[in-house]
Amino acid sequence: MQQLESSLEQRMPPLTKSAVLVIGGAEDKVHGREILYTFFERAGGRDANIAIIPCASREPSIISERYRRIFDEMGAKAIEVMDIRDRQQGEDPVWEKHLENCTGVFMTGGDQVRLCGLLADTPVIEHIRRKVQIGEMTLAGTSAGAAVMGRHMIAGGGSGESPNRSLVDMATGLAILPSIVVDQHFHNRNRMARLVSAIAMQPDQIGLGIDEDTCALFEGDSVFGVIGKGTVTVVDPTEVTYTNEPDIDATEPLSLHNLRVHVLTHGDRYDLQHHHIVSH
Amino acid sequence: MQQLESSLEQRMPPLTKSAVLVIGGAEDKVHGREILYTFFERAGGRDANIAIIPCASREPSIISERYRRIFDEMGAKAIEVMDIRDRQQGEDPVWEKHLENCTGVFMTGGDQVRLCGLLADTPVIEHIRRKVQIGEMTLAGTSAGAAVMGRHMIAGGGSGESPNRSLVDMATGLAILPSIVVDQHFHNRNRMARLVSAIAMQPDQIGLGIDEDTCALFEGDSVFGVIGKGTVTVVDPTEVTYTNEPDIDATEPLSLHNLRVHVLTHGDRYDLQHHHIVSH
């Protein structure tokens, strides 16, 4: 493990700043742990003061324990679990105190609607957003924890249909990265049609479809790099010339002309603001 | 039925020439029959002399009978079934004679590998190709009958994975429309990742993902129109700036930068040669 982590350390970009990690779910927790190790390093490594937020999960104790053990094995200095189970509890000043010294927050999987219901517009999430914005905290979210990153969030949906509005349920996310709509377990659960449907409804956003054990790593500006075993699919509607979206019923098929799509793999980097690949 | 078909007749483009219909499978055979009726009309309507090719199917008699009844109800002048069960049988001059007067050929669903195995490089398919090219015959293929239209054919594949070469089995098609790679039952069976994988391997082709009860109607030039209930997805790699395809193992995820994707619905038209939507 120690040896593997040393070799990973050499592959990582320089640790110049904090980061936001948007993880497609099912990240490796046993072998290389590449994504989790990147989070740990970006949070400060052996100086990391990590908070685990298990609020998306209905089994917050079990899931927290699993991540606590992993970050403990990696050598984090301190690990807190913010097991907030109702909004009132979320206003307890004890959490603010935890967050003051915290260098890394990890949001687990579960149900993104539950996570937003507990955290949206609370002092906790405002504190996190502020520290992330000024580069004093690394934030990671996996699966449901990734889904909440945008202002517009995919709350649920289906597959096996032509793109249409009823294929996707939209809700309001935590707006950590306001210009993106995230879909996770992306190719693993065949979610292209639902992400395309979401983007037809939010054509001022960029869709990011993130596969399992794969991560979009944002480093404080609008550029993200891809880490992991699968792909990050960018669905960019900036150049769209026509859609029937305003004119049809919710179950009718959506047209979208001139989408730009990028399928990115480990090591690729993309500039969200300027809508292009950072040269290979 | 008669009334519905009259109303469809008014919606159809003018019947100036023969056509090739690439149908995504599961076309309506009971109610409006819009796609099958379009084939019937393009084949000559009440003057149509139709041949049904059920070779993709392992139940050629049953499937032929179903289509025979439909075209008979519509009023076709003559209907032949070309129930060819081995390649030797395919060389019988009787088929050539059938095709001489034939104005429309319909290839049913089943297994595209079986269909190509029976017809590739036979006098039958050469005769059909020639008559289609000079605009003397309308050709339709649904499901497996659609899959064979390109020079490069998707023979099979999977879903639920990041795009990768092992997700799709490629074979040689009948090359009626040589520049396209067709995938059928497209969104219904979540085939975006396999079509993207196919196009990464054949970047000089254009991918067409055709949903069920949906048709790409080619009218003798490189422009096709969309008919039906779902979408036709164009995956155009012309502007691709980078792919890792040559450098990776078959199961590693594929990257593709700068794909152009169009999701088209009923009434949309696309120019394959010039790579753009025909203005809406």
3-state SS string for chain B: CHHHHHHHHHHCCCCCCCCEEEECCCCCCCCCCHHHHHHHHHCCHHHCEEEEECCCCCCHHHHHHHHHHHHHHHCCCEEEECCCCCCCHHHCHHHHHHHHHCCEEEECCCCHHHHHHHHCCCHHHHHHHHHHHCCCCEEEEECHHHHCCCCEEEEEECCCCCCCHHHEEEEECCCCCCCEEEECCCCCCCCHHHHHHHHHHCCCCEEEEECCCEEEEECCCCEEEEEECCCEEEEECCCCCEECHHHCCCCCCCCEEEEEEEEECCCCEEECCCCEEECC
pLDDT in the model for residue B179: 96
Most A CBs within 10 Å, among B257, B260, B274, to test the A interface: B257
pLDDT in the model for residue A42: 96
Chain A interface, Cβ < 8 Å to B: 159-163, 187-190, 192-193, 196, 211, 214, 229-231, 241-242, 244, 252-266, 268, 277, 280
CA A174/CA A197 separation, integer angstroms = 21
CA distance B122 to chain A (A): 36
Q: Is the pLDDT of residue A143 over 50?
A: yes
Given B143, B152, B197, B212, which residue is catalytic? B143
pLDDT in the model for residue A280: 63
Other Cβ atoms within 10 Å of A73 Cβ, number: 12
Classify residue A18: in a domain, yes or no. Answer: yes
Q: Is the pLDDT of residue A15 over 90?
A: no
Chain B CA closest to residue A248: B265
Closest residue to A230, CB basis, from B253, B259, B277: B253
Number of domains in chain A: 1
Q: Is the pLDDT of residue A40 over 90?
A: yes
Q: Is the pLDDT of residue B91 over 90?
A: no
Partners of residue A268 in chain B, C-beta under 8 Å: 255, 257
Mean pLDDT for the stretch of residues B16-33: 92
Helix axes A93-101, A123-133, angle to 10 degrees: 20
pLDDT in the model for residue A207: 98
Q: Model confidence over B31-82: pLDDT tens digits?
A: 999 999 999 999 999 999 999 999 999 999 999 999 999 999 999 999 999 9
Q: Is the pLDDT of residue B5 over 60?
A: no
Closest residue to B268, CB basis, from A189, A255, A268: A255
pLDDT in the model for residue B7: 47
CATH of the domain at A160: 3.40.50.880
Classify residue A149: in a domain, yes or no. Answer: yes
What strand order describes the sheet that includes A276-278? Answer: A78-81, A49-53, A104-107, A138-142, A20-23, A214-218, A223-228, A269-271, A276-278
Segments forming the whole domain that contains residue A145: 2-268
Closest residue to B263, CB basis, from A255, A260, A268: A255
Partners of residue B211 in chain A, C-beta under 8 Å: 162, 253
pLDDT in the model for residue B150: 97
Chain B CA closest to residue A269: B257
Q: Is the pLDDT of residue A2 over 90?
A: no
**Weakest mean pLDDT among A13-22, A211-220, B25-34:** A13-22
pLDDT in the model for residue A279: 78
Which residues of A have a catalytic role annotated? Answer: 143, 161, 185
Classify residue B272: in a domain, yes or no. Answer: no
Could you tell me the CA-to-CA distances from B59 to B18, B56, B111, B119 in Å, in that order? 29, 9, 11, 17
Mean pLDDT for the stretch of residues B176-192: 97
**Weakest mean pLDDT among A13-27, A37-51, A89-103, B61-75:** A13-27
Closest residue to B211, CB basis, from A162, A192, A261: A162
pLDDT in the model for residue B16: 47
Given pLDDT bands bounded at 50, 70 and 90, which one contains residue B107? very high
Task: Give the ipTM of the model, two decimals please.
Answer: 0.92
CA distance A62 to chain B (A): 28
- Which residues are registered as beta bridge partners of B183? B209
B143 is catalytic: yes
pLDDT in the model for residue B159: 97
pLDDT in the model for residue A59: 97
Classify residue A277: in a domain, yes or no. Answer: no
Partners of residue A214 in chain B, C-beta under 8 Å: 162
pLDDT in the model for residue A91: 86
Q: Model confidence over A69-124: pLDDT tens digits?
A: 999 999 999 999 999 999 998 889 999 999 999 999 999 999 999 999 999 999 99
Q: Is the pLDDT of residue A9 over 80?
A: no
Q: Is the pLDDT of residue A37 over 80?
A: yes
Q: Is the pLDDT of residue B219 over 60?
A: yes
Average pLDDT, chain B: 93
Partners of residue A229 in chain B, C-beta under 8 Å: 162, 253
Please give the full DSSP string across A19-65, using - where no structure is assigned. Answer: -EEEE-S---SSS--HHHHHHHHHTTGGG-EEEEE-TT-S-HHHHHH
Given pLDDT bands bounded at 50, 70 and 90, which one contains residue B14? very low
pLDDT in the model for residue B221: 77
Partners of residue A262 in chain B, C-beta under 8 Å: 256-259
Cβ–Cβ < 8 Å for B119, B172: no
CA distance B194 to chain A (A): 10
Classify residue A278: in a domain, yes or no. Answer: no
Chain B interface, Cβ < 8 Å to A: 159-163, 187-190, 192-193, 196, 211, 214, 229-231, 241-242, 244, 252-266, 268, 277, 280
CA distance B215 to chain A (A): 13
pLDDT in the model for residue B280: 63
Most B CBs within 10 Å, among A184, A189, A261, A269, to test the B interface: A261
pLDDT in the model for residue A233: 98
Cβ–Cβ < 8 Å for B264, A257: yes
Closest residue to A163, CB basis, from B161, B214, B263: B263
Which class for A66: exposed (0-12), middle (13-18), buried (19 or more C-beta within 10 A)?
middle
Q: Model confidence over A174-227: pLDDT tens digits?
A: 999 999 999 999 999 999 999 999 999 999 999 999 999 999 999 977 999 999
